[in-house]
Amino acid sequence: MHMNFLEKLYDFLMEKTDMPDFMSHGEKLHLVPLSNIEYRNKIRGTMISLAIGDAIGSHLEGQYSKEIEQISHFLKGEKTAISLNTTNITESTILFSESLIINQGFHPEDFANRLIRSPIIPIGKTMSAFVSNYRDRRMFWYESGVASAGNGAAIRCAPVALIHYGDFEGLKFVAGIQAFITHNDQMALASSILMNTALAHLLNTEPYTLDRKEEKLKFLEVCAKGIKGIETQLYPSNHSDEVANLYIRLARDLPEALEVDMGIEAFKNRWGTGAYALESIPLALYLFLKSPDDYEKILKDSLMCNRPDALSSLTLMLAGAYLGFSNIPKGYLQKLRNFEEMLTLADRLFELSLKNKSNNPYRRMLENMSEEKSKDELDQLLWLAIKCSQEKNYEEAVSHFEELTKKNPDVKKQEKIKMNIIEAYEGLGTKYLENDAFEEALKCFKKALFYDLNNPSILCNLALSYLNLDDLNRAEKYARRAVEVAPEYEIGKQVWEGIKSLSKNN
């Protein structure tokens, strides 16, 4: 992804609109692709699962729980001759995917144009208001979004993670801005970033490894860190007097629910099941985490909630990213009318993801190997420098320290290493003084002074070096400075008195 373009776009939107400053908040996460994961399989799993959740959820919406169990069992049968359509949920994801593929990256105006050109039926209130603003009132695309904390931006967001699973900064930029096009609300933006963070993390996780509670809690922690601080306000709950936001749900409520193994019904009764992002996003995550290895149970639990089309799409896209296409029960695939279309889009998104170098696990492996090798070299240089200094081989010690600070300037900030560097320069400078190499001694003491401007020993040695070079003014300056910073330093006082005496005689 063209990071320079995204940064300029973000700066433009911050200047021209009231878009929440989401890039200034949240922790920077490290997404690490793995060489043993087949990402085409994972990306296919995400796209196909989203469509399965939409198709089956919309088909069964309004059914009783007993009927849902019977019908879902009926649907998964491979011989059942039934073909299901998807709805606006899948259609908006298709439009977003097509925009990314055709433009070979994120082009927000093109995506906005596709949203008004292609009929999405049925159309929700938020999308209807956006279309009215952009198409009918001729507002700019970046001014047409409406204040809405619905889950629409999060439902269509999956393609972002599918091309940024190793690039959190790019993921965050695109996830936030794509949401802002239609949903100008902090929670809506946070929901898109949250879902993409979750999907990217699951894409980089091997199937059937998310079974321990500790791993699930770590997953929630990662997701919460990515959106921390984006929501500067609290939102009302539809089920109680409580106020909260997505970060609070992720950082406090979901971990607590997992710790006590809260039942799904209790979770729904406490925090709701509606299209409100504060309800549907945490619920989708919780349903997934309750049975991450059981695709059919995740679907069944989702179908027994309000708005099962949206919720099933959210939960199954998580399951698909985690388990992959090859682990989806085959009976469901044959029921999807646009199966081939979704599969083709998934493959094109996979190809697009390969253009993002951060997604390349082999490149990451080489970088990690280089970093480890570099760290080993730095550790060896430091060890050699300290060893030489202890053996009073100061010339070799200084050479190693200079190579070390050249390769890693940050070591200069570490106090213990600074002390060793000073000791090496002082030792070498003293050696030069003893051999009457005053110019060389001066250079060493100046380099030592760089690391500690108020070191009385270094200041005195500088004074002595200048004295031997017949520069009484500078000798007096450094001797006086040594006494000022350390009045109790006897050597400093002796040097200062001696230089003052010489100055009077001259």
- Same domain for 287 and 380, yes or no, is no
Would you say 309 is a known binding-site residue?
Answer: yes
Residue labelled with tokens 């480890």: 372
DSSP state of 409: G
Q: Per the domain annotation, does 19 fall within a domain?
A: no
Is residue 366 very low, low, confident or very high in pLDDT (cuts 50, 70, 90)?
low
Q: Per the domain annotation, does 12 fall within a domain?
A: no
Domain stops at, among 321, 337, 359: 359
- Same domain for 408 and 331, yes or no, is no
Three-state secondary structure readout of 265-317 = HHHHHHHCCCCEHHHHHHHHHHHHHHCCCCHHHHHHHHHCCCCHHHHHHHHHH
Quote the pLDDT of residue 118: 77
Going by C-beta distance under 8 Å and a sequence separation of 6 or more, which residues neighbour residue 1?
Answer: 105, 106, 163, 164, 167, 170, 173, 174, 356
- Same domain for 370 and 265, yes or no, is no
- Same domain for 402 and 490, yes or no, is yes
Going by C-beta distance under 8 Å and a sequence separation of 6 or more, which residues neighbour residue 474?
Answer: 462, 463, 466
- Same domain for 216 and 76, yes or no, is yes
Least-confidence region, from 162-171, 275-284, 350-359, 490-499: 490-499
Give, for 408, the enclosing helix (H) or strand (E). none
Quote the pLDDT of residue 186: 96
Give the whole-angstrom CA distance, residue 14 versus residue 31.
26
- Same domain for 430 and 320, yes or no, is no
Domain stops at, among 359, 393, 408: 359
Q: Name the token pair of 409.
A: 């300037």
SS3 of 437, please? coil
- Of 489, 477, 425, 430, the closest CA to residue 451 belongs to 425
How many folded domains does the chain comprise? 2
The CATH number assigned to the domain holding 103 equals 1.10.4080.10
| Centroid of chain to Cα 58 | 33
Q: Per the domain annotation, does 203 fall within a domain?
A: yes
For residue 290, how many other CB atoms are within 10 A of its CB?
20
- Category of 324 on φ-ψ map: left (φ > 0), alpha (ψ -120 to 50) or beta: left
Q: Per the domain annotation, does 32 fall within a domain?
A: no
Q: Per the domain annotation, does 38 fall within a domain?
A: no
Mean pLDDT estimate for the chain: 89
pLDDT of 230-242, one tens digit each? 999 999 988 778 8
Is residue 1 very low, low, confident or very high in pLDDT (cuts 50, 70, 90)?
very low
- Same domain for 209 and 261, yes or no, is yes
Residue 456 has pLDDT above 70, yes or no: yes
- Same domain for 367 and 353, yes or no, is no
- Same domain for 457 and 436, yes or no, is yes
Q: Per the domain annotation, does 36 fall within a domain?
A: no
The range of the structural domain enclosing residue 462 comes to 363-505
Q: Per the domain annotation, does 450 fall within a domain?
A: yes
Domain stops at, among 359, 376, 411: 359
Percentage above 90 pLDDT, the chain: 65
- Same domain for 306 and 285, yes or no, is yes
Task: Provide mean pLDDT across the span 333-341.
Answer: 90
Three-state secondary structure readout of 136-194 = HCCCCHHHCCECCCECHHHHCCHHHHHHCCCCHHHHHHHHHHHHHHHECCHHHHHHHHH
Residue 367 has pLDDT above 80, yes or no: no
pLDDT of 80-123, one tens digit each? 557 788 888 899 999 999 999 999 999 999 999 999 987 676 77
Task: Provide mean pLDDT across the span 11-16.
Answer: 93
Q: Per the domain annotation, does 282 fall within a domain?
A: yes
- Same domain for 109 and 160, yes or no, is yes
Would you say 80 is a known binding-site residue?
Answer: no
SS3 of 113, please? helix
The CATH number assigned to the domain holding 497 equals 1.25.40.10
Least-confidence region, from 52-66, 153-167, 409-423: 52-66
- Same domain for 345 and 389, yes or no, is no
